């Protein structure tokens, strides 16, 4: 399972996929699965990636890690658009600053606080 998750690019490394399996973030048929579990064609796999609960149907198992363009040949994404929208909204509600621009100034902080208060009304 961990190898398949890494090969179809659901995780950046195989060790991250293994950790997800061990932590119970990967389920097949509603049950937690171990990293060494064999992947079978037609199974539905639920993977928790951050706040997103991604559901995919296994179409095939690649022989090695595949390019991103070939991913649709190996799994079908069954995740509902509502789930993607929920995650998008959750990300918008948290404050985000680009890396390397430094701390906000006093003026920036006041503008951020004003915007937060405005959005909560």
pLDDT of residue 121: 61
In a domain, 113, yes or no: no
Percent of residues, the chain, with pLDDT higher than 70: 97
Q: Which residues of 73-108 are buried (b: 16+ CB within 10 A; e: fewer)?
A: ebbeeeeeeeeeeebeeeeeeeeeeeeeeeeeeeee
Q: Is the pLDDT of residue 94 over 80?
A: no
In a domain, 28, yes or no: yes
In a domain, 97, yes or no: no
Q: What is the pLDDT of residues 55-82, one digit of tens each?
A: 999 999 999 999 999 999 999 999 999 9
Q: What is the pLDDT of residues 7-22, one digit of tens each?
A: 999 999 999 999 999 9
CA atoms within 13 A on the CB side of 110: 3
The alpha carbon dihedral of 63, 69, 74, 80 has a sign of: positive
Look up the CATH number of the domain holding residue 43. Answer: 3.10.290.10
In a domain, 106, yes or no: no
Q: Looking only at Cα atoms, what is the longest distance across the chain? A: 57
In a domain, 96, yes or no: no
pLDDT of residue 35: 95
In a domain, 108, yes or no: no
pLDDT of residue 112: 85
Number of domains the chain is built from: 1
Q: What residues have CB less than 8 Å from 109, skipping those under 6 apart? A: none
In a domain, 116, yes or no: no
Give me the domain span that covers residue 75: 1-82
pTM of the model: 0.75
Quote helix, strand, coil % in the chain, to nearest 5.
40, 15, 40
* d(C-alpha 59, C-alpha 41), whole Å: 5
């Amino acid at each position: 399972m961990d190898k398949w998750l890494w090969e179809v690019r659901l995780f950046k490394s195989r060790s991250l996929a293994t950790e997800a399996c061990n932590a119970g973030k990967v389920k097949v048929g509603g049950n937690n699965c171990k990293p060494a579990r064999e992947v079978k064609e037609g199974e539905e796999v639920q993977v928790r990636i951050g706040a997103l609960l991604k559901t995919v149907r296994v179409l095939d198992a690649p022989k090695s890690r595949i390019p991103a363009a070939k991913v649709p040949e190996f799994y079908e994404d069954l995740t509902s658009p509502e789930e993607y929208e929920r995650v998008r909204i959750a990300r918008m509600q948290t404050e985000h600053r680009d890396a390397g621009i430094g701390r906000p100034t006093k003026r920036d902080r006041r503008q951020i606080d004003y915007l937060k208060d405005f959005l909560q009304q």
